[in-house]
Structure 1
């Protein structure tokens, strides 16, 4: 996100709602990069991500009157982005997704996911294709966007405990599917690679 603090953002939102619509451009500048990255991770295509970003901000602008200050503006915007991306995926039926990798599951600690930049692994794509769009969204928000469970809860309107359980189940499902596609045991996955970046 950009360098606009909460107080400044609140003032901008008020100004837009009071008719100073040109100030919505500052909201776009603040969130443009993060929304683009989110859409890219969900859709797997830079062109689609750019187009979707424009549509998302247009939808947000048209819906500003419905925004409730009881939740952070960013969470509200990500919720719009989530529903838009789901619509795109439903229409397209097939999408490419940024690969996820994780450490040896024999290590008794939370699952670590790995992202290999600019590399789309066919085994990872096949494994992710077996997950629902909602499950992929949870992984992207948590691992790529680095959202906290509290933030994700605001976006998906689910409680923290439920999300933690769903994340655990989704991680386990991904391990299983990826191992099947790779033709290895789950504990072999993630070994021998030195180029990944940790996403916690």
Structure 2
């Protein structure tokens, strides 16, 4: 759906044609559910959170700023919803996701993607903070640009890039620890040979 069509649908909804919100749900329901699922690691919670996201979006549609991409605005609502759920359950475990090395380490990407539900990945992810997991999920799983993430998290690009590098390094370190290998073995072929202290 192009931006003009989406803007028109939003305008129609705000004018009282509320059944058109169904089109927005059809467009974004699956990606929002998957984002919630990756953040929360629980199918039922992800389903409930996805419904809450769309309910909150519908209620707040009159506050939407068209200068921000609609999808980014919706992900910000999803992020806030997931953080609320996490707080309520006191930071329970998250579902793991495959890791994307910023240094174009495709071998590692494919290995981790192939072992998506690997218990080692789950253990490594559980050692990261909620903020670190969220950043990696938005960047790697949801394939969001730093510009989009900065709008979602209200942080500048330079800060996000530094946080991403630190989070990625922590993930590699924890993954190596739970796997029982040296950290630089995780990054073979990437040029990343520094061991972690």
TM-score using structure 1 length: 0.83
Aligned to 1:154: 151
In structure 2, the gaps of 5 or more residues are 189-197
* Range with greater deviation from structure 2 (42-51 or 136-145): 42-51
RMSD, aligned α-carbons: 2.1
Instruction: Name which of 100, 109, 124 aligns with 2:103.
Output: 109
1:164 aligns with 2:161: yes
What is the deviation of 1:183? 2.0
Cα offset, 1:142, TM superposition: 0.6
Question: Which structure has the highest helix share of the two?
Answer: 2
| Contact 2:72/2:151 (<8 A) preserved | yes
Runs of 4+ in 1 over 4 A off after TM superposition: 110-113
SS in 1 for 2:144: coil
Q: Partner residue of 1:97?
A: 95
Question: Which residue is 2:43 aligned to?
Answer: 46
> The residue matched to 1:63 in structure 2 has which SS?
helix
| Cα offset, 1:99, TM superposition | 3.5
Cα 1:118–1:80 shift into 2, 3 Å: farther
User: Residues 2-81 of structure 1: matches in 2 within 5 Å?
Assistant: 4-81=1-78
Q: TM-score, normalised by structure 2?
A: 0.84
Alpha-carbon distance in structure 2 between the residues aligned to 1:188 and 1:6? 45
Secondary structure in 2 aligned to 1:116? helix
2:136 equivalent to 1:139:
yes
Once the two structures are TM-superposed, the CA of residue 165 in structure 1 deviates from its matched residue by 0.9
Count of residue correspondences: 184
C-alpha distance in structure 1 between counterparts of 2:151 and 2:99, whole Å: 26
Q: Which has the higher contact order (CA 8 A, sep 6+)?
A: 1
| Structure 2 Cα separation of the partners of residues 55 and 164 of structure 1 | 30
